[in-house]
Each structure stands twice: as C-alpha cells, then as structure tokens.
C-alpha cells in the first residue's frame, strides 16, 4: 500500500491552507505489494481480533499508547479497554504484526463452509463482436490465445459472440457447438429466452486445463457477420452490400451478467468478462446514437468539448450496478477509429471494477500483450477502502474508479483492484481551530483496505491442503492497514519545502477531469490556469518578493513565476503547461477525438503519481552511445536537443517509448540499439513495470518521419494549440502567467 501526500508537513489551520494555494490531500495505491519506500507489510493472522476504538472505530496500531489494561486511540484520543484475549496477545508483542509495524496485512476469517470456499474457481468470459472485420477478429483471437496462456489451469472459460444475435459456445464436446439467440432490434426489447435455457451455465464454462485446444478450435471458426446476413429481408436493401448495423452489445452484456449471476458465490467469487468491441452499439437495448458526433456543432453553435463528454443514456451505468450484483467485472477492449461514444460505455467497465482500453487500429495494436499482462498480475476483489483521520481534519472529495457505500460515510467499494490502481482524497479542516502546535499531537491518517484474493493451491500452507482439495484454488479474505503520522508546517516556507509536485499533479488532474465532465473542457482549462496564477501570487507574497508602493495598487519588485526560491514548486509551471497541451484538455477543433479523450480520462484517473507525471510531461534522456547515458533529463524542446550535442535520445511518455537518433549521429552507432545494451535493458525494465504495454518506436533523424517524436517537444508549442512558433510556447506561457498574476494582485 503506497501512500503519498501533496505535502508531508500539513498546514497548521484553515488560514494556512488557504494562504499556501497547494491542494491538500493524498494518493493511495492500496494493493501495491510495498509502500512508497519499498517496505512490505508485516503479515499476520486473526484480523478479526484486532482491537478497534469505541469512538471512531479506528484500528489499534503502533502509534497508540498501550498500558496493561487499556489503550489510547492515536486518531481521536479515546481510552479503550482491552479484552482478556488482547491482554494475553500483547504480552508477547513479537508475535503480533500490529505491535511490530504500522503497516500490516492480516488474514480475516471467511464466512461459509470450507468446502464452498475451496470450490470457488476463477471464471473468465470473452464476448466477441462479430459485426466487425477479419482483421479485428484476428487480433481478438491473438489476444484470447495470449489470455489462455496466462490463465491458471483450474480456471473456467466461456466464449460468447454478439452481433444481431448472441452466440454461446459449448467447447466441452468433441467439436465446438454454438447456440444463437436473436437480439431484438428495438431499444426496449428483451431476449425471447433465458440463456440458462439455451445452454446450462456449467456447460458453457469450460475448464481451461482440459479444454484449451477445443477453445482454440472454437476461436478459429469465428467469422464476421456478413452484410447480407445483417440486412433485414424484404427491405429492398439486400443487394447494396451496406452494413445495416447489428451490434447488440448492450443486450448481450445484460444477458451475460444475469446468466453468470446465478452461480455467483457458488461456482465463482468473481467473474471477469472481456468485451471486444469494434464500433458503437447500434442494435437493441443500449444502442447509441453516434450522430451527435459530426458537423451539427457548427450549425447549432454547440460546444463540442462540452456536449461529447456526458453519457447520452444511463443504460451502461445501470448495467454496471447489475454486473456488481452478479459478481461480474467487465473489461472493454475497443478497437476502432470511428466514434463509439465511450463517454456512455465507460461506466460499464470502470464502475464494475474493470478497465477501458482503446486501440485506433489493428496494425500496431498492443492488445495481446495488454491481455497477457493484465491476467498475469495479481488482483484483489470485493474490496472495501476506508480512510480515517485524526479529529482536526477530514476527507473532502474522493477520486478514482470506485463507488461510495450508500450507508457509511468515507467508505468506498472497489470490485476489482490490481497493484497499480490508485485513488485520491483531498482534505479539509473539521473546524477553525486546526492542529495543535504541540509536537505530541500530530496529524494522523489510517487507511484500511479489506480485500479477497484467490490463492492457487501451490501457495497454500501444507496444513491447509486437505487431500480432497488438492489442485483447487482457495479464497482468502485479508485486511491491510496503514497508519501514518504527519508533521505540521510552522510557516509557508516549511510547507512549500514539503511539497510533492507529482502528487499535486495527481490531484489537479482529478479536479480538471471532474470540471471537464461537469462544465466542459474550457472550464477545466480555466480552473487549471487560475490555480497556477493564485499559487504564484501567494508564493510571491509569502517570500516578500513584491511590495505595494505607498499603499497603492502598483507593485514594486520583480515577480517570480518560476519559483526560484523553492525547488519543490519549480516543476509545477511546466507540469501545468504540459497538462494544458495534453489531449485531456486540448480543444475538439485541434483534432482530439472524443473517445480518445475519454480513454485518457479513465487511464489518468487510475495512475499512480510517478506514472502520471511521465504521461503528462514525458522524460527525455540522452545517450552518447547505446551503452552510455549522457544526461538523465532534458526539457522537451528542440533547443535542449541541439545544445546537448548527444546523438541518441530516449523519450518515455508512459504509453509510448521513442528512441530517436539525431541526423548528426555517427553512422557507425548501431541502429536500432542492440539487445544487450544499457538502453535496451532500460526499455525492457520500463515495459515490465507498466500496467499497459507501451508502444516502442525507433526513429532515425533525417531519414524517417520524426513528427511523432517532435510532437512531444511541447515547450515550443503554443499553449492554445495555434501551432509551432520559434519563440512562443513555454516562455510565452510564463509571460501570460506573469500578466495574469499582476492583474490578480491589483
């Protein structure tokens, strides 16, 4: 569980918080195996016996004062009695995880019989769009072959297809058999028959270990639905070859969730559905009107940046709730360059605990690699995340792909959570008093994360491997708790020195995404610009860099917009500039596809701060040879390339990795870099650490098209997207901030 705060020294009171201009909050990556310093939790058992505060329900931790019979809560100060069992436990402190570390992971007893627990198996279902091209299906088949290699042998796998009909495949017999149900064309329609009556669920779900070859055979027979089959007979359009629609995605997903839900808690504890989509749903319930994306904005005078971000129907948000109730998590893989309205579809994935992937074409898609990577890493499910604080402050907003508990405040449910998934909170003071100035009473934060994992049989202790359960997965419920103590800043200088700019960026990204969705992209840009203006003016006042002349509004002194006296704030103007140039906040008329914007929103709102930093402001490194690094970091400008004099540059933009050889590089330097060099090993390490597969591009300056690399050199691009200039870009952005600060301070 990695936790990073925007400031490691908290503002002393609400006045200090307002005066500093820095968002106050933190990010948490709850299922990360280690904390932000690389430390693993101390593992233990009997999580249900951990004492809890009678007042605030916080868990006992190493910061609590403990005497023989009682303990003081480190969050609210309440004195709590100890049970006789706890007194006996704590008389042997080295035997209790919670006495050894403030970061613990404790096993929790499960409810239900041992036999039911041991019978649960991982379940995966692929739902493949047949209203597609041969190229799309070939890519999907490759992805599913990769998935079969990554799945545990005891897993159950089901194959379904959808078009104007829903197909269920039985691969447990000698040859694959498909049974189809027609999907009604009407948006209010229902399936004529229950899927359980079409094919019993346990006939549909095949064991991977015994049926892998037959699943592969079933994949090989998948073919696109032809235009002739999709054209309704008798319409007079049978011969024109026009695709008449027939992508009944919404109905197919709803039917599969209900189908799987009948065995939730019995056959499986979590089912994952992989939905492969080649275009917008246009048939039956959940069909989307893609005409809203087009030329009509010019005639209506409508703001496309605002109109294309909200969902056009609540169908998929409601369907996500159905999926959650059925124990189903949906991952959407959209392979399309046509408008598919991911603004409406995204809820089905992110609110059911899944992921949203977008690939603009089949040629260089990393779908198979992403599929294998996603299924190879561990994940937790049925998670509950709870953040508690000491009494002086409280959580304000929460950000991330979870849904709040309808009954309890500050409790979030996460259906499925991997080791990369990150969530954010911001804080506010509970009263006007603020924190105590005595060092004995420091701000406290406690994060509790209760989760379930499926443990393969080889990871179970020998005592748990009953002869009847050998070869079967086991379900474990665990409770991970992290308790942190923070300092307080005595003045603004101390507070600014404790800033973590990457976490500040994370909270800013969450806030501008929220503003964009509610008010439009223009509003998101204004919010970000105004925040930097206010921060800059408050910093200048705090460091007494400017004075007002004789009580008038005219200002004396040199305005500092680069935060030269505070190293921790110096990256922020560049990060804000880069965020304004990012597709997240660029205007529709600049050619940002609305589906790509939605994909970027979903990706960025789940990334941990260091990854998000690279995605917003890529890391540019130079090498003198493929085996020797020259400089670890350059600004993103042509001037930096020219002045460095290095022949090789490596750019890490998180989703894309580019190796660029300058046109003046020595021709004897090997291109592309050899597999056993330092640069290649750096690339391979970065690829291994990513939650998605970055695209790797090699460019030889002067011979290859270098535009994809040059587009990342944003510091010479105008912030409003008016193209490339020689002296504009970041420099003119700082001049604009200077003028805005002067206006603000008048």
**Domain limits, the chain:** 2-7+24-107+379-459+470-486, 120-226+244-282+292-376, 489-603+725-745, 619-711
Identify whether the C-beta of residue 171 lies closer than 8 Å to the C-beta of residue 399: no
Whole-angstrom Cα distance, residue 235 to residue 510?
A: 49
**Which pLDDT belongs to residue 402?**
85
Residue predicted with more confidence, 244 or 661: 661
Q: Is the pLDDT of residue 242 over 60?
A: no
Judged by DSSP in three states, 72 sits in: strand
**Which pLDDT belongs to residue 725?**
39
Identify whether the C-beta of residue 449 lies closer than 8 Å to the C-beta of residue 384: yes
Whole-angstrom Cα distance, residue 244 to residue 726?
A: 50
Gyration radius of the chain's alpha carbons: 28
Q: Is the pLDDT of residue 235 over 50?
A: no
Judged by DSSP in three states, 678 sits in: helix
745 CB-near residues (< 8 Å, 6+ apart): 537, 540, 546, 555
pLDDT, one tens digit per residue, over 183-204 is 998 888 888 889 999 999 989 9
Whole-angstrom Cα distance, residue 469 to residue 460?
A: 11
pLDDT, one tens digit per residue, over 343-382 is 999 999 998 888 999 998 888 889 999 999 998 888 898 8
Question: How far is residue 662 from each of residues 335, 419, 617, 625, 700, measured CA to CA in Å?
Answer: 33, 38, 21, 12, 7
Q: Is the pLDDT of residue 251 over 90?
A: yes
DSSP 19-54: HH----EEEEETT-SS-TTSPPPEEES-GGGS-B-T
Angle between helices 594-604 and 609-616 (to 10 degrees): 150
**Which pLDDT belongs to residue 303?**
60
**Which pLDDT belongs to residue 457?**
66
Q: Is the pLDDT of residue 465 over 50?
A: no
Q: Is the pLDDT of residue 298 over 50?
A: no
List the one residue out of 560, 540, 556 whose CA is nearest residue 548.
556
- Average pLDDT value for residue range 237-249: 59
List the one residue out of 3, 45, 33 whose CA is nearest residue 477.
45
**Which pLDDT belongs to residue 154?**
83
Q: Is the pLDDT of residue 268 over 80?
A: no
**Which pLDDT belongs to residue 243?**
43
Identify whether the C-beta of residue 320 lies closer than 8 Å to the C-beta of residue 263: no
> What CATH number does the domain located at 489-603+725-745 have?
1.20.120.730
Whole-model pTM: value is: 0.89
Q: Is the pLDDT of residue 5 over 60?
A: yes
**Which pLDDT belongs to residue 726?**
35
DSSP state of 225: P
Whole-angstrom Cα distance, residue 108 to residue 45?
A: 7
295 CB-near residues (< 8 Å, 6+ apart): none
**Tokens representing 495?**
């507070």
How confident is the prediction for the chain on average, in pLDDT?
86
List the one residue out of 123, 179, 159, 341 whose CA is nearest residue 250.
341
- Average pLDDT value for residue range 100-129: 79
E strand or H helix that includes residue 443: none
- Average pLDDT value for residue range 90-118: 78
Q: Is the pLDDT of residue 557 over 70?
A: no
Kindly indicate the confidence band of residue 37, based on its pLDDT and cuts at 50, 70 and 90. Answer: very high
Q: Which residues of 88-98 are buried (b: 16+ CB within 10 A; e: fewer)?
A: ebbeeeeebbb
List the one residue out of 258, 255, 260, 253 whose CA is nearest residue 157.
260
- To the nearest whole percent, how much of the chain has pLDDT over 90? 51
DSSP 97-140: HHHH-SEEEEEEPPSS-HHHHHH---EEEEEEE-SS-HHHHHHH
- Average pLDDT value for residue range 149-163: 91
Identify whether the C-beta of residue 26 lies closer than 8 Å to the C-beta of residue 8: no
Alpha helices in 331-402 (DSSP H): 342-350, 367-376
Kindly indicate the confidence band of residue 556, based on its pLDDT and cuts at 50, 70 and 90. Answer: low
Strands (E) across 565-627 are located at 619-625
Within 10 angstroms of residue 715's Cβ, the number of other Cβ atoms is: 20
**Tokens representing 102?**
């403030």
- In the sheet where 42-44 sits, what is the strand order? 42-44, 103-108, 474-485, 444-455, 379-389, 411-418, 403-404
Q: Is the pLDDT of residue 728 over 50?
A: yes
> Of the given ranges (44-53, 280-289, 400-409), which has the lowest mean pLDDT?
400-409
**Which pLDDT belongs to residue 240?**
42
- Average pLDDT value for residue range 8-26: 93
First to last CA, the chain: 46
Whole-angstrom Cα distance, residue 728 to residue 711?
A: 15
Query: How many Cα neighbours within 13 Å face the side chain of 519?
Result: 12
Whole-angstrom Cα distance, residue 98 to residue 483?
A: 10
Whole-angstrom Cα distance, residue 598 to residue 584?
A: 8
Judged by DSSP in three states, 395 sits in: strand
pLDDT, one tens digit per residue, over 565-581 is 999 999 999 999 999 98
Kindly indicate the confidence band of residue 730, based on its pLDDT and cuts at 50, 70 and 90. Answer: confident
Residues 692, 576, 619: CA angle, nearest 5 degrees? 45
Regarding beta strands 156-162 and 123-129, do their DSSP bridges make them parallel or antiparallel, or are they unpaired?
parallel
The residue assigned the tokens 């505070």 is: 566
Kindly indicate the confidence band of residue 586, based on its pLDDT and cuts at 50, 70 and 90. Answer: confident
Q: Is the pLDDT of residue 269 over 80?
A: no
**Which pLDDT belongs to residue 38?**
92
Kindly indicate the confidence band of residue 161, based on its pLDDT and cuts at 50, 70 and 90. Answer: very high
Does 314 sit behind a cis peptide bond, omega within 30 degrees of 0 on the bond before it?
no
Kindly indicate the confidence band of residue 550, based on its pLDDT and cuts at 50, 70 and 90. Answer: low
**Which pLDDT belongs to residue 520?**
85
Match domain 120-226+244-282+292-376 to its CATH number in 3.30.930.10, 3.40.50.410, 3.40.50.150, 3.30.1330.10. Answer: 3.40.50.410
pLDDT, one tens digit per residue, over 592-633 is 888 999 999 999 999 999 999 999 999 999 999 999 999 898
Question: How far is residue 199 from each of residues 165, 268, 554, 601, measured CA to CA in Å?
Answer: 15, 18, 80, 39
Question: Which class is domain 619-711?
Answer: alpha beta
pLDDT, one tens digit per residue, over 519-549 is 888 889 999 999 999 999 999 988 887 766 6
Residues across the chain = 746
**Which pLDDT belongs to residue 237?**
42
The residue assigned the tokens 């899927």 is: 195
Topology (CATH level 3) of domain 2-7+24-107+379-459+470-486:
Immunoglobulin-like (2.60.40)
Q: Which residues of 26-63 are buried (b: 16+ CB within 10 A; e: fewer)?
A: bbbbbbbeebbeeeebbebeebeebbebeebebbbbbb
């Amino acid at each position: 569980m990695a936790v990073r705060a925007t400031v490691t020294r908290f503002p002393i009171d609400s006045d200090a918080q307002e005066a500093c201009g820095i968002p106050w909050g933190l990010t948490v990556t709850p299922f990360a195996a280690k904390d932000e310093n690389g430390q693993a939790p101390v593992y233990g058992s009997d999580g249900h016996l951990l004492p809890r505060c009678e007042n605030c329900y916080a868990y006992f931790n190493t910061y609590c004062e403990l005497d023989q019979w009682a303990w003081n809560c480190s969050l609210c100060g309440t004195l709590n009695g100890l049970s006789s069992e706890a007194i006996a436990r704590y008389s042997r402190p080295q035997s209790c995880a919670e006495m050894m570390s403030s970061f613990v992971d404790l096993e929790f007893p499960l409810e239900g019989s041992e036999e039911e627990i041991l019978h649960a198996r991982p379940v995966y279902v692929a739902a493949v769009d047949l209203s597609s091209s041969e190229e799309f299906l070939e890519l999907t088949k490759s992805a599913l072959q990769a998935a079969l290699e990554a799945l545990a042998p005891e897993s159950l796998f089901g194959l379904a297809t959808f078009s104007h009909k829903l197909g269920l495949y039985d691969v447990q017999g000698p040859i694959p058999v498909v049974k189809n149900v027609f999907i009604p064309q009407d948006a209010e329609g229902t399936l004529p028959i229950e899927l359980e009556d079409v094919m019993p669920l346990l006939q549909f779900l095949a064991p991977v270990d015994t049926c892998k070859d037959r699943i592969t055979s079933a994949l090989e027979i998948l073919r696109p639905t032809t235009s002739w089959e999709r054209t309704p007979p008798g319409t007079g359009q049978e011969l024109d070859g026009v695709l008449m629609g027939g992508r009944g995605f919404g109905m197919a997903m709803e039917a599969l969730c209900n189908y799987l839900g009948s065995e939730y808690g019995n056959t499986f504890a979590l089912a994952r559905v992989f939905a492969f989509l080649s275009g917008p749903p246009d048939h039956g319930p959940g069909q989307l009107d893609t005409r809203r994306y087009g030329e009509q904005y010019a005639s209506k005078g409508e703001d496309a940046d605002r109109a294309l971000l909200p969902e056009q129907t609540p169908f998929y948000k409601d369907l996500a709730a159905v999926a959650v109730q059925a124990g189903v998590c949906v991952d959407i893989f959209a392979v399309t360059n046509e408008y598919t309205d991911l603004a409406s579809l995204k809820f089905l994935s992110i609110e059911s605990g899944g992921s949203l992937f977008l690939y603009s074409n089949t040629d260089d898609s990393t779908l198979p690699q992403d599929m294998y990577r996603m299924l190879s890493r561990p994940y937790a499910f049925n998670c509950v995340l709870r953040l508690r604080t000491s009494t002086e402050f409280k959580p304000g907003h929460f950000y991330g792909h979870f849904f709040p508990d309808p009954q309890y405040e500050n409790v979030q449910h996460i259906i499925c959570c991997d080791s990369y998934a990150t969530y954010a909170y911001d804080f506010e003071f509970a009263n006007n008093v603020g924190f105590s100035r005595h060092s004995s009473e420091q701000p406290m934060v406690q994060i509790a994360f209760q989760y379930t994992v499926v443990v393969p049989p080889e990871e179970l202790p020998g005592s748990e491997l009953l002869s009847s359960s050998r070869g079967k997965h086991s379900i474990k419920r665990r409770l991970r708790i992290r308790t942190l103590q923070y300092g307080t800043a005595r003045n603004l200088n101390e507070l600014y020195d404790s800033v973590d700019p990457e976490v500040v960026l994370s909270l800013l990204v969450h806030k501008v995404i929220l503003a964009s969705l509610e008010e439009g992209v223009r509003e998101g840009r204004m919010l970000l610009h105004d925040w930097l203006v206010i921060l800059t003016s408050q910093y200048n006042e705090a460091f007494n860099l400017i004075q007002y002349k004789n009580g008038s509004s005219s200002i004396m002194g040199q305005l500092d917009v680069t935060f030269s006296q505070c190293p921790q704030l110096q990256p922020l103007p560049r990060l804000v500039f880069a965020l304004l140039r990012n597709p997240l906040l660029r205007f529709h008329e600049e050619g940002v596809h609305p589906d790509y914007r939605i994909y970027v929103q979903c990706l960025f709102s789940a990334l941990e701060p260091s990854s998000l930093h690279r995605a917003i402001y890529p890391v540019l490194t130079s090498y003198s040879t493929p085996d020797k690094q020259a400089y670890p970091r350059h600004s993103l400008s042509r001037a930096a390339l020219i002045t460095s004099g290095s022949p090789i540059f490596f750019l890490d933009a998180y989703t894309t990795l580019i190796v660029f050889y300058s046109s003046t590089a020595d021709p004897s330097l090997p291109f592309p870099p050899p597999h056993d060099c330092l640069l290649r090993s750096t690339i391979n390490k970065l690829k291994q650490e990513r939650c998605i597969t970055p695209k790797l591009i090699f460019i030889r300056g002067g011979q290859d098209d270098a535009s994809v690399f040059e587009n990342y050199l944003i510091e010479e691009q105008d912030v409003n997207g008016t193209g490339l200039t020689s002296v504009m870009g970041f420099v003119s952005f700082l001049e604009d901030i200077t003028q805005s600060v002067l206006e603000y301070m008048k």
